Amino acid sequence: DTIPLKYGAHRTGNRTDAEMERWRSYGLGQFIHWGVYAIPGGQWAGKTYGGAAEWIRSWSKATAPENWTNTYDNFYKQFNPTSFDAKAWAKQAKQMGAKYVIFTTKHHDGFCLWPSKYTDYTIKNSPYKKDIVKEVVDAYNAEGIDVYLYFSIIDWNHKGYRSAAPKTAEEIASYETFKKFTRNQLLELLKNYPTVKGLWFDGSWDQAWIKEAAYTDELEKELRKVHPGLIIGSRFRADENGKRHFDSNGKMMGDYEQGWERKLPASIEVLKGRDWDCVMTIPPNQWGYNADWKSSYIKTDDDLIQMLLHSVSLNGNLVINFGPDGKGAIRPEEGAIAAGIGEWMQQNAEAIYGAKYAGLPKPEYGYYTLKGNQLYLTVFNRPVNNQLRLAIPQSYGKGIQKAYFLVGGQALKIKKTNIGIDRDSNTYFDVTLPADFKTEKPFVVVLDLGESNGNNKNYG
């Protein structure tokens, strides 16, 4: 450390406990954005909002068809999701292969999907009445899926909430009520839903919040104390110099890097060995339900499977977002994507769960992942001559001993090849794919490294 900090990172390097090891092995997760913004679904009074549907309440007064204080803030009075079936969501997530879910308990609008004691703006005062967070936690846990609670620090409904740092005594006193409210709600969530594994914070970039380094550091410690093992990313708090994610000495605050929102790291180097996950939307940038599903590019299941391999091959998890509609239904298009990913996962998940960065450059054919002595090559780009030519450094274990298809187990011919360009001490292994092998999906070739000599261990 170069700068002495009171409220910087409190740990160097990654966590080593069992909870975090479990988080690391997930590979695939599901995000769910659900709230009263699903009612307008990005459209109101025949007009379309240009931004992300869950942000519609911030539609500028100049162009919005309504005064949202009179409309949006009353949507909860008609929030009655008669199609909502937490068990069906959980079953669909399980089929997709998700090992964890991140669920919006409260987005920026401040509407709480649990019956919080600290505000009236909750599900309890909607026609639905029942505790949606509880239904989700129970249903996903019953499917063996770990639950993480999304919580927005931004709260457009709370009187004490503000974005700019408070200056006058009155502003400061008012912001104190918001700090207390936030703490109460977080403790309430952990008390109500003791099986959750972590909290996923958002909207923590306001100057008012950033300036609260002492308070937020204390609060994070308190949350961890009341809920041992709790996992919190790098997006909760800032240090005393206003640095977010990484403190003034460049050390990550929190348990994993939480900056990979709708983007993926280009290489292992930029990650510097840190834990991370990527949260990804299916359209370009829509988290909450948007009725218009056609006027932007919709990622395919193959796109998302590729992002999953990209993530896992670099030691990260991929979390795919779903936005149920105002009635609580996950749209059929998202259902089809989940099913497509699930079909692939049911056959190929061995290359995902618990698999890690292989310590090799990315092959042109696809992605490597590694588990023990098994190197997995998930092929997206099949060579026209059916020869996978794999360059393996001589320092990397004992090289490839056996190759076979993950699905079906058919052995594949391997030939060690001296191609005469070996200035970087690689051994080249030519793995032959059968010419009559037909597939329309990415497929996995298992490359058995035999007894490890210690060089093909996971590179953290």
Query: SS3 for 100?
Result: strand
Please report how close the Cβ of residue 42 comes to ligand H79 at its closest, in angstroms: 12
List beta partners, residue 231.
Answer: 198
Look up residue 353 and give its two tokens.
């769960």
State yes or no: residue 23 binds ligand H79 (CB under 6 A). no
Rg (CA), the chain: 24
Q: Which residue shows structure tokens 């403790």? A: 187
State yes or no: residue 287 binds ligand H79 (CB under 6 A). yes
x/- map, 26-55, ligand H79, by CB under 6 A: -------x------------------x-xx
Q: Which residue shows structure tokens 């001993």? A: 401
Q: Which residue shows structure tokens 């993950």? A: 406
Please report how close the Cβ of residue 191 comes to ligand H79 at its closest, in angstroms: 24
- 206 vs 350, which CB is nearer to ligand H79? 206
- 253 vs 360, which CB is nearer to ligand H79? 253
Q: Find, among 311, 394, 408, the residue nearest to 356 by Cα.
A: 311
Distances (CA, A) of 213 to 152, 399, 431: 17, 50, 55
- C-beta neighbour count of 218 within 10 angstroms: 14
Q: Which of 13, 130, 194, 205 lies at the binding interface for ligand H79 (CB under 6 A)?
A: 205
Please report how close the Cβ of residue 87 comes to ligand H79 at its closest, in angstroms: 25
Please give the residues from 341 up to 380 whose contact with ligand H79 meets the rule CB under 6 A.
Answer: none
- 34 vs 368, which CB is nearer to ligand H79? 34
Please report how close the Cβ of residue 255 comes to ligand H79 at its closest, in angstroms: 17
Please report how close the Cβ of residue 296 comes to ligand H79 at its closest, in angstroms: 16
Please report how close the Cβ of residue 115 comes to ligand H79 at its closest, in angstroms: 22
Single-letter residue type at 20: M
Contact between 253 and 8 (Cβ < 8 Å) = yes
x/- map, 253-272, ligand H79, by CB under 6 A: --------x-----------
- 283 vs 363, which CB is nearer to ligand H79? 283
- 150 vs 443, which CB is nearer to ligand H79? 150
Contact between 368 and 360 (Cβ < 8 Å) = yes
- 151 vs 376, which CB is nearer to ligand H79? 151
State yes or no: residue 155 binds ligand H79 (CB under 6 A). no
What distance in Å separates the CA atoms of residue 407 and residue 438, rounded to the nearest whole number? Answer: 13
- 155 vs 392, which CB is nearer to ligand H79? 155
Contact between 236 and 183 (Cβ < 8 Å) = no
Look up residue 374 and give its two tokens.
């098994």
Q: Total binding residues for ligand H79 by CB under 6 A?
A: 9
State yes or no: residue 277 binds ligand H79 (CB under 6 A). no
Please give the residues from 423 up to 452 whose contact with ligand H79 meets the rule CB under 6 A.
Answer: none
- 19 vs 261, which CB is nearer to ligand H79? 261
Please report how close the Cβ of residue 162 comes to ligand H79 at its closest, in angstroms: 15
- 275 vs 277, which CB is nearer to ligand H79? 277
Q: How many CA atoms lie within 13 A of 275 on its CB side?
A: 21
Contact between 450 and 373 (Cβ < 8 Å) = yes
List beta partners, residue 276.
Answer: 257, 316
Please give the residues from 184 up to 203 whose contact with ligand H79 meets the rule CB under 6 A.
Answer: 202
CA 234 to chain centre: 13
- 211 vs 457, which CB is nearer to ligand H79? 211
Please report how close the Cβ of residue 280 comes to ligand H79 at its closest, in angstroms: 10
Q: Which residues of 126-153 are buried (b: 16+ CB within 10 A; e: fewer)?
A: bebeebbbbbbbbbbbebebbbbbbbbb
Q: Which residues contact 24 (CB under 8 A, 6 or more apart)?
A: 275, 315, 317
Look up residue 376 and give its two tokens.
């997995």
Tell me which residue has its CB nearest to ligand H79.
Answer: 205
Q: State the residues that interact with ligand H79 by CB under 6 A.
A: 33, 52, 54-55, 202, 205, 261, 279, 287
